[in-house]
């Protein structure tokens, strides 16, 4: 049975058919999950996940609440384990490095893998200090160099024009959407390779959401993006590949267009057509 | 109908209890203020007691109270704040952390006289005498002194400082720590650059309030260093080499007079309790005033930092 389950607006020329964009299997894999299992005390969150995240593309993780989406991406920068005991089986690799092997430098890992959270979480410091936080703790740059990093990051996050004349005011005075873009600038300032987003628009209004989605569009040129979302339309709009997660297991992964128009698994179809979840 | 009556009764009882508390406080402060107002003069604040402590001022007691309070802060604050940071930020919810938490809470409930006895037994007789034995040359550390009294008071306020600091740290949103960790901050960078700046106001107010409580305690210093009558100040002159000059320094190995202890002996041990009544009132007013000042500064600090959080 092949039929379109969801009309997917894809206005972009870069999509399927444009020869400049190589197919995913030709691309390097940035993050690799191999038969990966993840348990919190008394609760199993993920089991048997095998997934390749291609470099410089946007991968969306969809699935109902509690299916392990957040745990999956938080296992990449290893913040799922903060404040609790966890057990990890199988492998998670960034490039060729096993992230749960011995001697992994968490500071370096988290510099290479940035993260945007569900709710904007700027520090109660000035706009400038928020963006400068990362470079400062990594001891890179000072004075003029730091200033240029801050400006570049704010421009990348499309926030510069709105805040350039008040960099010293508190980040808490910004609107929710501006705060989330500030958090993105804060991530970009440490020059990561991978950017994780955990439902980055769930606390934002539609206009702010649209701006974040525009930004994600631009980010794929330099960064590998993994985004968790509850919003099917959003996954269809922003991602190149989509993975569907259910009860801690990966049900299906493929090109976004294929997943949304022609899912191979019955459960995927049920979920994206809104029959459950 | 019955519900309406019950509502009125509940309101009446609750409002009544509030008035009882207000009334008790007003009566206490009012009688202290009335009794002490005429006594507290400039001379009372700056002179030493005379004529068997039935006349004169209380300056040595004020001086001793200030010295011992500062010394107590210097000992208890760094220790308490560091312990709380370890408990909240590092130990997490491990078994060890639970044990530490339980013992801190229990320590906070120990009566102050027990701390006083502990002070004599541990600081004066054990620590002090041990130091004396090691250095030789007679008794110096192994006797009641300001140092040991301050240490005993520090032990008394330590759990209070730890608990209030832990509360201030816990009030910092988890999301801020996550953001810092996700940017590659180490635990210490997260604590020092994100958590502490936000918790500072809470830590300071909690600490000041605990200190203002410690400053009024009598029992812990009873056996550890305060003197019945010591009109000279606990000050020693330290010679500066080659200059022939010497500068006065507070001598922590000396004994001292202290306000709350002064009130105690004036009321119970005086040669003539009736004659010294005005002095008791005056001393009490000064002690309450000092405590009130500390509390005010805590309120002021809290307001100031709260403003700064919004517009840094």
Whether the CB of B93 is below 8 Å from some CB of chain A: the reply is: yes
- Model pLDDT, residue A99: 94
Q: Is B5 within a domain? A: no
Whether the CB of A183 is below 8 Å from some CB of chain B: the reply is: yes
Which residues touch B134 (CB under 8 Å, ≥6 apart)?
A: none
Structure tokens at A181: 């873009």
Determine how many CB atoms are found less than 10 A away from the CB of residue A72.
Answer: 28
- Model pLDDT, residue B38: 84
Helices (H), chain A: 69-74, 106-112, 127-137, 144-156, 160-163, 176-188, 206-219, 232-238, 256-261, 266-272
Q: Is A144 within a domain? A: no
Q: How far away is chain B from the Cα of A239, in angstroms, using its nearest Cα?
A: 23
Determine how many CB atoms are found less than 10 A away from the CB of residue B215.
Answer: 23
Residues of chain B found within 8 Å of residue A129, distances taken between Cβ atoms: 312
Whether the CB of A190 is below 8 Å from some CB of chain B: the reply is: yes
- Chain B residue with the nearest C-alpha to that of A127: B312
Q: Which of B175, B183, B311 sits opposite A137 (nearest CB)?
A: B183
Query: Are A176 and A136 within 8 A, CB to CB?
Result: no
- d(CA B296, CA B205) in angstroms, rounded, equals 10
Query: Are B170 and B84 within 8 A, CB to CB?
Result: no
Residues of chain B found within 8 Å of residue A124, distances taken between Cβ atoms: 176, 198, 309, 312
Q: Which of B176, B184, B197 sits opposite A134 (nearest CB)?
A: B184
Strand partners, A53: A31
Closest CA to A53 of A76, A70, A69: A76
Q: Is A222 a residue whose pLDDT tops 80?
A: yes
Cβ distance A77 to B185 less than 8 Å, yes or no, reads no
Query: Are A133 and B193 within 8 A, CB to CB?
Result: yes
The model's pTM is 0.81
Cβ distance B180 to A133 less than 8 Å, yes or no, reads yes
Confidence of residue A188 (pLDDT cuts 50, 70, 90): very high
Query: Are B284 and B37 within 8 A, CB to CB?
Result: no
Cβ distance B93 to A83 less than 8 Å, yes or no, reads yes
- Model pLDDT, residue A2: 44
- Model pLDDT, residue A15: 43
Cβ distance A170 to B311 less than 8 Å, yes or no, reads yes
Whether the CB of A241 is below 8 Å from some CB of chain B: the reply is: no
Cβ distance A114 to B186 less than 8 Å, yes or no, reads no
Closest CA to B144 of B111, B114, B112, B117: B117
Whether the CB of B90 is below 8 Å from some CB of chain A: the reply is: no
If you average pLDDT over residues A149-162, what whole number do you get?
A: 94
- Chain A residue with the nearest C-alpha to that of B174: A121
Point out the residues of chain B with pLDDT beneath 50. Answer: 310-312
Query: Are A125 and B312 within 8 A, CB to CB?
Result: yes
Q: Indicate the SS3 state at residue A47.
A: strand
- Model pLDDT, residue B274: 76
Q: How far away is chain B from the Cα of A248, in angstroms, using its nearest Cα?
A: 23
The number of distinct structural domains making up chain B is: 1
Q: How far away is chain A from the Cα of B92, in angstroms, using its nearest Cα?
A: 6
Cβ distance B184 to A123 less than 8 Å, yes or no, reads no
Cβ distance A110 to B92 less than 8 Å, yes or no, reads no
- d(CA A21, CA A54) in angstroms, rounded, equals 13
Question: In which residue are the tokens 């992230």 written?
Answer: A99
Residues of chain A found within 8 Å of residue B176, distances taken between Cβ atoms: 121, 123-124
- d(CA B267, CA B263) in angstroms, rounded, equals 6
Cβ distance B312 to A170 less than 8 Å, yes or no, reads yes
- d(CA A150, CA B274) in angstroms, rounded, equals 73
Q: Which of B93, B182, B185 sits opposite A77 (nearest CB)?
A: B182
Residue-level length of chain B: 312
Chain centroid to CA B257: how far?
16
- Model pLDDT, residue A11: 45
Strand partners, A98: A93
* Of the candidate ranges A23-27, A41-45, B93-97, B299-303, the one whose mean pLDDT is the lowest: A23-27
- Model pLDDT, residue A25: 53
Whether the CB of A107 is below 8 Å from some CB of chain B: the reply is: yes
- The angle formed by the CA atoms of residues B100, B102 and B108, to the nearest 5 degrees, is 100
Q: Which of B178, B186, B198 sits opposite A79 (nearest CB)?
A: B178
Q: Is A3 a residue whose pLDDT tops 90?
A: no
Q: Is A129 within a domain? A: no
Query: Given the DSSP bridges, would you call strands A194-198 and A113-116 parallel, antiparallel or unpaired?
Result: parallel
- Model pLDDT, residue B307: 63
Q: Is A249 a residue whose pLDDT tops 50?
A: yes
- d(CA B70, CA B72) in angstroms, rounded, equals 5
Query: Given the DSSP bridges, would you call strands A29-40 and A43-54 parallel, antiparallel or unpaired?
Result: antiparallel
- d(CA A240, CA A55) in angstroms, rounded, equals 11
Query: Are A48 and A245 within 8 A, CB to CB?
Result: no
Q: What is the ipTM of this complex?
A: 0.86
Q: Which of B179, B184, B309 sits opposite A111 (nearest CB)?
A: B184
Cβ distance B183 to A134 less than 8 Å, yes or no, reads yes
Query: Are B204 and B216 within 8 A, CB to CB?
Result: no
Q: Is A15 within a domain? A: no
Long-range Cβ contacts of B123-132 (<8 Å, 24+ apart):
B123/B147, B123/B148, B123/B151, B123/B152, B123/B224, B124/B148, B124/B223, B124/B224
Q: Which of A110, A126, A169 sits opposite B184 (nearest CB)?
A: A110
Query: Are B251 and B236 within 8 A, CB to CB?
Result: yes
Sign of the Cα pseudo-torsion (A159, A160, A162, A165, in order):
positive
Q: Residue B169 is part of which domain span?
A: 60-305
Q: Is A62 a residue whose pLDDT tops 90?
A: yes
Strand partners, A197: A116, A227
- Model pLDDT, residue A20: 45
Q: Residue A218 is part of which domain span?
A: 27-121+193-272
CATH number reported for the structural domain that contains residue B301 in this entry: 1.10.3720.10
- Model pLDDT, residue B236: 78
Q: Is B21 within a domain? A: no
Cβ distance B183 to A82 less than 8 Å, yes or no, reads no
Whether the CB of B179 is below 8 Å from some CB of chain A: the reply is: yes
Whether the CB of B311 is below 8 Å from some CB of chain A: the reply is: yes
Residues of chain A found within 8 Å of residue B88, distances taken between Cβ atoms: none
Query: Given the DSSP bridges, would you call strands A58-62 and A241-246 parallel, antiparallel or unpaired?
Result: parallel
Cβ distance A169 to B311 less than 8 Å, yes or no, reads yes
Helices (H), chain B: 2-37, 42-46, 59-85, 95-108, 112-118, 129-135, 146-170, 174-182, 187-190, 196-215, 219-222, 259-268, 277-310
Q: Is A5 a residue whose pLDDT tops 60?
A: no
- d(CA A193, CA A94) in angstroms, rounded, equals 10
- d(CA B179, CA B217) in angstroms, rounded, equals 43
Chains A–B, number of C-beta pairs less than 8 Å apart: 75
Residues of chain B found within 8 Å of residue A194, distances taken between Cβ atoms: none
H or E element that contains A254: strand A249-255
Q: Is B13 within a domain? A: no
Confidence of residue A1 (pLDDT cuts 50, 70, 90): very low
- Model pLDDT, residue A14: 43
Q: Is A175 within a domain? A: no
Q: How far away is chain A from the Cα of B164, in angstroms, using its nearest Cα?
A: 21
Residues of chain B found within 8 Å of residue A190, distances taken between Cβ atoms: 183-184
- Chain A residue with the nearest C-alpha to that of B187: A107
- Chain A residue with the nearest C-alpha to that of B175: A121
Whether the CB of B186 is below 8 Å from some CB of chain A: the reply is: yes
Q: Is B232 within a domain? A: yes
Q: How far away is chain A from the Cα of B209, in angstroms, using its nearest Cα?
A: 26
- Model pLDDT, residue A16: 42
pLDDT, one tens digit per residue, over A77-115 is 999 998 888 999 999 999 989 999 998 999 999 999 999
The number of distinct structural domains making up chain A is: 1
Cβ distance B198 to A83 less than 8 Å, yes or no, reads no
CATH number reported for the structural domain that contains residue A99 in this entry: 3.40.50.300
Q: Is A35 within a domain? A: yes
């Amino acid at each position: 049975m092949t039929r379109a389950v969801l009309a997917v607006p894809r206005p972009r020329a870069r999509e399927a058919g444009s020869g400049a964009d190589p197919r995913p299997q030709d691309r390097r894999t940035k993050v690799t999950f191999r038969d990966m299992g993840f348990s919190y005390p008394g609760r199993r969150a993920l089991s048997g996940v095998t997934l390749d995240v291609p470099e410089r593309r946007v991968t969306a993780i969809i699935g109902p609440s509690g299916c392990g989406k957040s745990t999956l991406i938080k296992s990449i920068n290893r913040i799922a384990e903060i404040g609790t005991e966890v057990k990890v089986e199988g492998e998670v690799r960034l490039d060729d490095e096993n992230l749960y092997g011995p001697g992994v430098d968490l500071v370096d890992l988290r510099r290479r893998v940035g993260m945007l959270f569900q709710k904007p979480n700027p520090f109660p410091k000035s706009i400038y200090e928020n963006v400068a936080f990362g470079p400062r703790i990594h001891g890179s740059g000072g004075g003029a160099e730091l200033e240029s990093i801050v400006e570049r990051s704010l421009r990348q996050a499309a926030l510069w024009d709105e805040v350039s004349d008040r960099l010293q005011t508190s980040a808490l005075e910004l609107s929710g959407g501006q705060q989330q873009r500030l958090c993105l600038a804060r991530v970009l300032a440490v020059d990561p390779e991978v950017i994780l987003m955990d439902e980055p628009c769930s606390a934002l209004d539609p206009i702010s959401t649209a701006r974040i989605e525009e930004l994600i569009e631009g980010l794929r040129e330099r960064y590998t993006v993994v985004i968790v979302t509850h919003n099917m339309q959003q996954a269809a709009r922003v991602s190149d590949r989509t993975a569907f997660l259910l009860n801690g297991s990966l049900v299906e992964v493929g090109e976004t267009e294929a997943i949304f128009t022609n899912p191979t698994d019955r459960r995927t179809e049920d979920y994206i057509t809104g029959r459950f979840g | 109908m019955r519900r309406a009556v019950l509502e009125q009764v509940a309101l009446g009882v609750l409002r009544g209890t509030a008035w009882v508390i207000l009334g008790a406080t007003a009566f206490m402060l009012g009688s202290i203020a009335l009794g002490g107002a005429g006594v507290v003069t400039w001379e009372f604040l700056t002179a030493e007691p005379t004529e068997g402590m039935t006349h004169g001022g209380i300056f040595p007691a004020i001086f001793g109270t200030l010295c011992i309070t500062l010394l107590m802060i210097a000992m208890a604050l760094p220790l308490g704040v560091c312990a709380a940071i370890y408990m909240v930020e590092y130990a997490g919810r491990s078994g060890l952390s639970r044990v530490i938490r339980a013992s801190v809470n229990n320590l906070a409930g120990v009566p102050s006289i027990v701390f006083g006895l502990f002070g004599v037994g541990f600081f004066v007789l054990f620590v002090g005498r041990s130091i004396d034995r090691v250095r030789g040359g007679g008794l110096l550390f192994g006797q009641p002194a300001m140092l040991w009294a301050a240490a005993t008071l520090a032990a008394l306020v330590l759990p209070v400082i730890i608990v209030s600091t832990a509360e201030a740290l816990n009030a910092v949103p988890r999301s801020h720590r996550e953001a810092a960790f996700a940017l590659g901050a180490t635990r210490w960078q997260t604590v020092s650059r994100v958590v502490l700046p936000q918790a500072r106001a809470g830590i300071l107010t909690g600490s000041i309030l605990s200190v203002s409580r410690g400053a009024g305690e009598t029992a812990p210093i009873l056996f550890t260093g305060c003197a019945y009558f010591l009109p000279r100040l606990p000050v020693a002159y330290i010679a500066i080499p080659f200059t022939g000059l010497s500068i006065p320094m507070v001598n922590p190995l000396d004994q001292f007079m202290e306000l709350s202890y002064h009130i105690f002996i004036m009321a119970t041990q005086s040669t003539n309790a009736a004659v010294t009544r005005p002095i008791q009132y005056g001393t009490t007013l000064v002690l309450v005033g000092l405590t009130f000042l500390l509390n005010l500064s805590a309120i002021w600090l809290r307001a100031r930092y709260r403003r700064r959080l919004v517009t840094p």
